[in-house]
């Protein structure tokens, strides 16, 4: 595998890592799982999102948990496959997987908000950051019961923690991913400010 610092030679391989990551990330597990369970299109309830939090609004905790795990795993698998060839390829593949979840080609580029896939990519790249994410998310979610607020606080915490740990390249990637998390949560932020945000466990 070419040295990623030799951009002219490495570019096709980096693009391949990005593409494979994107295809893995774009698998809409939340939509597939709820349809297979006979629950119809999960995009027609709650927030209209395909992620685990909205699947939970169907009242099926097991399906929501399965969606969470699979959405995380597609990010983890993308990174681990590319990690064989070096950190740079893993970073690109992780970015691709995250973009795939947010903007899946199969759903007209209208995907989820990326929190589970974010965590999956993070787990494969820097497990310490995943611990920080989990602690921040669980603490905020337990106190407020707002999944969106928990995700936003965790997304702020991760890049800072990675920089403090000296993991500069992963930190740089997660600055970008965290900004995308905020972008995808912009309507949630408005509802949080207005006091209209749906709490964890509320049905759609």
| pLDDT digit string, tens, across residues 156-201 | 999 999 999 999 999 999 999 999 999 999 999 999 999 888 887 6
- Torsion of the alpha carbons at 79, 43, 61 and 144, rounded to the nearest 10: 90
Report whether 70 contacts 52 (CB < 8 A): no
Structure tokens that stand for 137 in this block: 């998310």
| pLDDT digit string, tens, across residues 54-81 | 888 887 889 999 999 999 999 999 999 9
d(CA 81, CA 9): 20
What is the mean pLDDT of the segment spanning 81-103? Answer: 96
- Quickly tell me which residue has 């912009």 as its tokens: 186
Structure tokens that stand for 172 in this block: 């740089």
Give the length of the chain.
204
pTM (two decimals): 0.91
* Sequence ranges of the domains in the chain: 7-194
């Amino acid at each position: 595998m070419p040295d990623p610092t030799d951009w002219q030679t490495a570019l096709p391989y980096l693009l391949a890592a990005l593409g494979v990551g994107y295809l893995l990330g774009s698998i809409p597990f939340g939509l597939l799982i709820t349809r297979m369970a006979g629950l119809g299109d999960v995009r027609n309830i709650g927030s209209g999102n395909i992620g685990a939090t909205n699947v939970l609004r169907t009242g099926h905790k097991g399906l929501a948990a399965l969606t969470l795990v699979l959405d995380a795993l597609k990010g983890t698998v993308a990174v681990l496959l590319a990690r064989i060839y070096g950190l740079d390829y893993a970073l690109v593949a992780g970015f691709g997987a995250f973009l795939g979840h947010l903007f899946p080609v199969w759903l007209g580029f209208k995907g989820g908000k990326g929190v589970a896939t974010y965590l999956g990519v993070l787990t494969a790249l820097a497990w310490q950051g995943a611990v920080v994410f989990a602690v921040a998310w669980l603490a905020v979610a337990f106190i407020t019961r707002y999944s969106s607020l928990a995700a936003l606080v965790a997304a702020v915490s991760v890049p800072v923690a990675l920089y403090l740990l000296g993991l500069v390249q992963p930190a740089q990637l997660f600055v970008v991913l965290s900004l995308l998390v905020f972008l995808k949560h912009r309507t949630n932020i408005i509802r949080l400010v207005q006091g209209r945000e749906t709490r964890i466990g509320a049905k759609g």
